[in-house]
Amino acid sequence: MSRLPAHAHETFRRYLDAMTAHAQAAADAADLHPTDWAALSVLNLAGSLTSGELAERTGLTTGATTRLIDRLERAGHVRRVADPADRRRVVVEPLPKLDAGTIVGPARQHLGEIFAGYGPDQLEVLFDYFGRAADALMTATREVRAETARRRQG
């Protein structure tokens, strides 16, 4: 870690805090709870998921995921449909009710202005980082949740 610039930890924390604040603002703009906003984002990226897959990707329990899907379905953001590969299973599909592009438009604009200052090779590195960091953070999330569950059990 000695290769990191001075104040790297604080800079990264500021970045994560800003992401959290933006997610809260976006959820507020969509009239959703931040957890529901995040789950809807996961669904929009995936296209459709089973409730178990959604639980895994959001880190929620299966019971909390069922209640989340119920809320999103009542609000008209998702629908439950039979899985075409296995009619006994149900998948959750996002519906195009929400104009998320308008909500995240300012962030896209401001970040686009930043990206415009980087060359193609630098952008390649940045987006490689984003992909790898997303995977690393999801792995860390699972580890934290597992440790929390172990601690609470005994």
Entry pTM: 0.84
Residues forming a β-bridge with 50: 91
Rounded distance between C-alpha atoms, residue 135 and residue 133, angstroms: 5
**Cβ atoms of 48 and 90 closer than 8 Å:** no
- CATH number, span 8-98: 1.10.10.10
At 64, the amino acid letter reads A
Task: Decide if pLDDT at 139 tops 80.
Answer: yes
Token readout for 92 is: 């959750």
Rounded distance between C-alpha atoms, residue 54 and residue 74, angstroms: 17
pLDDT digits (tens, 9 = 90+) for 63-119: 999 999 999 999 999 999 998 888 888 899 999 888 888 999 999 999 999 999 999
Domains of the chain, residue spans: 8-98
Mean pLDDT across the stretch 115-139?
A: 96
